[in-house]
Structure 1
């Protein structure tokens, strides 16, 4: 059982819909109403609701509450008028909708049982009924009542009839189908990103420009945008991280392998005296980050990073970045995110540094070797990601 909730201003318009005034195919019939609502013509009943909604000193903009209850077709003959009334009464109480006027009808124009309830969002004492966290409370209560009364529990979004969806809701399910398909066929973040692009979607990470934290993940096609949480709990950042790996940890492991490999090459081409100087300038990675501790500072904003990128890459990276209204957070693509996550390592490891070698007391790598050791990511999620040299 599910319940969809809408609020509006027109009591008579809502009443005409739920009673099927202009759609006889609904075969609507009244199965429950409050004591203060007589079964008269729609215009008179709507006026009674309006009188209740204007009681007290409230200034409510949308006094009409419309609750649509749908039961799965597999519940068959179980969804009797009596059971529907019982479940709806309990749902209203748990939602905090008490001491108010309402009317409920049942429709028979689909292959599943459903009923519509209209109520005043101002109670009989003139108090406005709270809608705070209404969506979350409704989902939790519907799930509870479905289990309590032994109703059929759907397998989830896969059973939703896409052909009946419209507008943003239809787009949401199209996104869901595409992203779930991409997730199933991908083994790491890079494959996931590539698969999404093939579906016409872009992956964006919600990045905090102040503290460098990842706040979530969104998917966009340029017109519509949905967060992973809006699509499904399996598509939240935490759930995707569980499959593809923690991006900060992947960064840390890759930097570790690159740094230690670089040090080994310097040791290989130098004598004992030169190696001592190298150890002083390039201490062991685990001493800089003991116990695998990730750097806590040194993160930068996307604008700051973009201003330092080479001009030849500027256009590509700008397309991977969009600031929030207050510029405190950004939505960034995977490639740009890796550069952001690298920033805290730049100073302690001197990434990107260079200069002559003789005055430092050791033999440096030649230009060809330095090019091999320019840092590049291996995006694969494995127990020990390996740095891949450029060949």
Structure 2
């Protein structure tokens, strides 16, 4: 599956395009929550009313279009509930199930696809984050594909796109992708190193004569086309400018703060796992983020 997400300001334009498909018999409403899904104006009014609960969030429109691989078309025809299951799991995985949404299938193309229009202002007035939505969406789609045995569309396309480039460049692109994914879900250096170790990638801290960390390198043992094993190593800054030591430290700290905030909003979870409440949680997370073990 392929997903394309845009974050916008106007519900009317987004809803009008999709509802026009329904009115023309070229689409259907698969599911909805919290909005009148039978007509354009009431739907827009419902979305707009809830968005006003959080006036500071100016870009409150979440629009994602998800397309299936043509190879899955036969299954989608035989199992009409499959598309709804995918949409529901995507909504839940991205946190959109806590707000208003409408899911509309388009029926005027050779490949099946649907559109999600959701309100980034949740039903309780809180904002639904769009931070790193591309990486989160891609990871979630891969999980949904595997769960339902759907064609791994992006992975296949990604591998094919790397087939005819030099080995070292291919290794660089593959490693960059994996380091980014690990960094996305890590809050400190220990988590980052452990996650990358599972992928066969070792993190090397480059230090100066005084022992101060000056940079990072990533190493792994890879196979080239003839089956020979070679060591592949790249400095973080050579993988991408945002994978330098400084940028990685900033990202880990940002992830740490977000996790601390999530924990502070779940006192019942804190109690169940024996965590202390209040500033001590944030202090612990901040220390982890600042020290980074590097």
Shorter-chain TM-score: which interval? 0.5 to 0.7
What is the deviation of 1:49?
0.7
**Counterpart of 1:59?**
56
Q: 2:122 is paired with a residue of what secondary structure?
A: coil
Q: Which has the higher Rg, Structure 1 or Structure 2?
A: 1
**Structure number having the greater strand percentage:** 2
**Counterpart of 1:17?**
17
Write out aligned runs for 1:1-391 (5 A).
1-20=1-20, 27-34=26-33, 36-56=34-54, 58-79=55-76, 80-154=79-153, 156-157=156-157, 181-184=164-167, 213=215, 246=233
Q: Deviations over 1:96-115 (max 9, x none)?
A: 22331111111123222100
What is the deviation of 1:19?
2.7
The answer to whether the Cα contact below 8 Å between 2:98 and 2:123 also exists between their aligned partners in 1 is: yes
Q: How many residues align?
A: 196
What is the deviation of 1:212?
6.0
Q: 1:122 is paired with a residue of what secondary structure?
A: coil
How large is the Cα RMSD of the aligned pairs? 4.2
What is the deviation of 1:185?
9.5
What is the deviation of 1:90?
1.7
Q: 2:96 is paired with a residue of what secondary structure?
A: coil
Question: CA separation in 1, counterparts of 2:16 and 2:223?
Answer: 46
Structure 1: state its 5+ residue gaps.
Answer: 161-175, 190-206, 217-235, 249-322, 330-391
**Structure 1 residues 19 and 208: CA distance shift in structure 2, 3 A:** farther
Question: CA separation in 2, counterparts of 1:90 and 1:247?
Answer: 37
The answer to whether the Cα contact below 8 Å between 1:10 and 1:64 also exists between their aligned partners in 2 is: yes
Question: CA separation in 2, counterparts of 1:43 and 1:101?
Answer: 15
The answer to whether the Cα contact below 8 Å between 1:11 and 1:46 also exists between their aligned partners in 2 is: yes
TM score, norm. by length of structure 2? 0.54
Question: CA separation in 2, counterparts of 1:239 and 1:23?
Answer: 54
**Structure 1 residues 147 and 128: CA distance shift in structure 2, 3 A:** same
The answer to whether the Cα contact below 8 Å between 2:221 and 2:231 also exists between their aligned partners in 1 is: no
The answer to whether the Cα contact below 8 Å between 1:18 and 1:117 also exists between their aligned partners in 2 is: no
Structure 2: state its 5+ residue gaps.
Answer: 173-205, 236-240, 248-294
Question: CA separation in 2, counterparts of 1:211 and 1:244?
Answer: 23
